[in-house]
Amino acid sequence: MNALLHNPPVLGIAAWSGTGKTTLLTKLLPLLRAQGLRVGMLKHAHHAFDINPVDGDVSLWDMLAHLDRGKLDLILVEGFKHERFPKLELHRAAVGKPLLFPDDDAIIAIASDTPVDTALSRLDINDPEAVAAFIVDYCNNDIDPTGL
């Protein structure tokens, strides 16, 4: 699985429902493209639709294997929070859900609207430019403190 995570780098956006994953991504994608990155996007949906019907839940690894990775500089993944791969956690105090990072050692940074007591990189969820800069740095350095 390691090779699937590094060429190009894969970064998940993990959060509880209602935190604003899709909203932030719609702001991030133009910023990342403006930096010259070719970004692929995967989204895990629990909703009652399927573009390509499959039996059971599709795995992240199956989805990654189907991408034309040679044409991408980065793959962002929304969802699949229970899979182990590098992730940026989004957290909003108003959602009332616990932080994910204490139970997920694959989380490499947290973007939140309130201070979080952690040694992980911390970002302001309401500052898409700062989040995009972190992601560009992730791509340029292939940061992976998880060892994945």
Between 6 and 54, the more confident residue is: 6
pLDDT the model gives residue 65: 87
Contacts of 35 by beta carbon, 8 Å cutoff, 6+ apart: 132, 136
Beta strands of 1-148 (E only): which ranges?
Answer: 10-14, 39-43, 74-78, 87-91, 107-112, 121-124
pTM tops 0.95, yes or no = no
Residue ranges of domains in the chain: 2-141
What are the two backbone dihedrals, phi and then psi, of residue 4, each rounded to the nearest 5 degrees? -70, -20
Q: 122-128: long-range contacts (C-beta < 8 A, 24 or more apart)?
A: 123/88, 125/20, 125/24, 125/90, 125/91, 125/92, 128/24, 128/27, 128/28, 128/31
* Phi-psi region at 62: left, alpha or beta (left = phi > 0; alpha = psi -120 to 50): alpha
3-state secondary structure (DSSP) of residue 111: strand
Give the pLDDT band (50/70/90) at residue 139.
Answer: confident
Q: Which helix (H) or strand (E) holds 64?
A: helix 60-65
pLDDT for residue 119 is more than 90? yes
Give the pLDDT band (50/70/90) at residue 7.
Answer: confident
Architecture of domain 2-141: 3-Layer(aba) Sandwich (3.40)
Rounded to an integer, the average pLDDT of 91-110 is 95
